[in-house]
Amino acid sequence: MRVTDTSDLWWKSAVIYCLDIETFHDSDGDGIGDLGGLAERIDYLAELGITCLWLMPFYPSPDRDDGYDLTDFYGVDPRLGTLGQLVEVVRTAHDRGIKVIADLVVNHTSDQHPWFRASRRSTSNRYRDHYVWRDTEPPDTSKLVVFPDREDSIWELDERTGEWYLHNFYKHQPDLNLANPEVVDEVLRTVGFWLELGFDGFRVDGIPFLEQSSKNSGDPALAVDPHELMRTIRAFLNRRSGSAMMLGEVKRSTSRTRSSGPSSAASRPTSCRCSSTSSACRPPTSPSHARTPARSSRPSRSALPSTTPVSGRRSCATTTS
């Protein structure tokens, strides 16, 4: 690729800085980082030389998994600020020449999400098929769990209906049924919503777990090819914003990774949530971070050592070149 080509493929030479709003900077003294604090530090980030800001989940959440347990795909956690303040952050970043991308959580929701709360009311509820259920006792799936110190199966019995629901991560994070066109439509609607608010792309969480097969879902009829799903999202992204970037969390070597589109990037195996062809995790160096403990008492999914003065989690400066 010629250097001149990077002018219309900005992600090819982007320097990406990942941060958690809650642990970045507190503007009102309540001990929790917030959008007001992030807005105050946009100039600091620009001085670092970054060209893209990747925001970890800022959505409403019970916060049992660093915000990856969502209860609303279209909102902002009120502890962090308002939707209006988020738009101000994006606008200010753009003014300083910084693109902004958001974490897109497609695999699951919180068990407190209105869809799941409705789906477990009865087997005939209209939201039942938004999740993956089975009416027969599942086999031993202990070898498939992501967190063997916390879970011993990827299925959990729901006492009310007497059926089991799939959860590749924690039992409080039921997996969405991505074989359901209504669920995929809602995912695309979510992508469109955040694009309209000015975001420049997404980092898709947990792509390997988007695959549904008879092995993990218990039903061949619910099969989902994650590559096809990513191509569907990529095609929608191209229609709405041809310059938008899509990163993917892919825990396999790049030599084995198939592309989901012309501007996607895959990650090398790493314990960090960085998701590109080259990443370097660095402790945040801002002089003023929120004075908050770790988001939860359990180990973070990022499994990084406690080296930061705030929460034991690091921000990531990443390049996709």
In 51-196, DSSP assigns E strands to 52-55, 99-104, 133-134, 155-158, 163-166
The amino acid occupying position 10 is W
Question: Taking the CB of residue 181, how many other CB atoms lie within 10 A of it?
Answer: 8
Given the residues 65, 151, 205, 211, the one annotated as active site: 205
Distance CA 219, CA 175 (A): 14
- Catalytic residue, from 26, 65, 175, 249: name it: 249
Work out the angle at residue 314's Cα, subtended by the Cα atoms of residues 310 and 319, and round it to the nearest 5 degrees. 150
Q: Which residue has the tokens 């086999």?
A: 139
Return the closest-CA partner of residue 58 out of 155, 197, 258, 231.
Answer: 197
The alpha helices in 222-275, defined as continuous H runs, are 226-240
Confirm whether 175 is a catalytic residue. no
Tally of CB atoms within 10 A around 22:
25
8 A C-beta contact, residue 169 and residue 106: no
CA atoms within 13 A on the CB side of 4: 0
- Residue 205 appears among annotated catalytic residues: yes
d(CA 96, CA 264): 24
Q: 209 and 252 in contact (C-beta within 8 Å)?
A: no
- Contacting residues for 68 by C-beta, under 8 A, at least 6 apart: 57, 61, 103, 105, 169, 173, 205, 301
How many whole angstroms separate alpha carbon 251 and alpha carbon 244? 23
Write the DSSP symbol of residue 3. Answer: G
Query: 46: part of which helix (H) or strand (E)?
Result: helix 42-48
The number of beta carbons lying within 10 Å of the beta carbon of residue 239 is: 10
> What are the two backbone dihedrals, phi and then psi, of residue 171, each rounded to the nearest 5 degrees?
-65, -20
Active centre residues (catalytic) = 205, 249
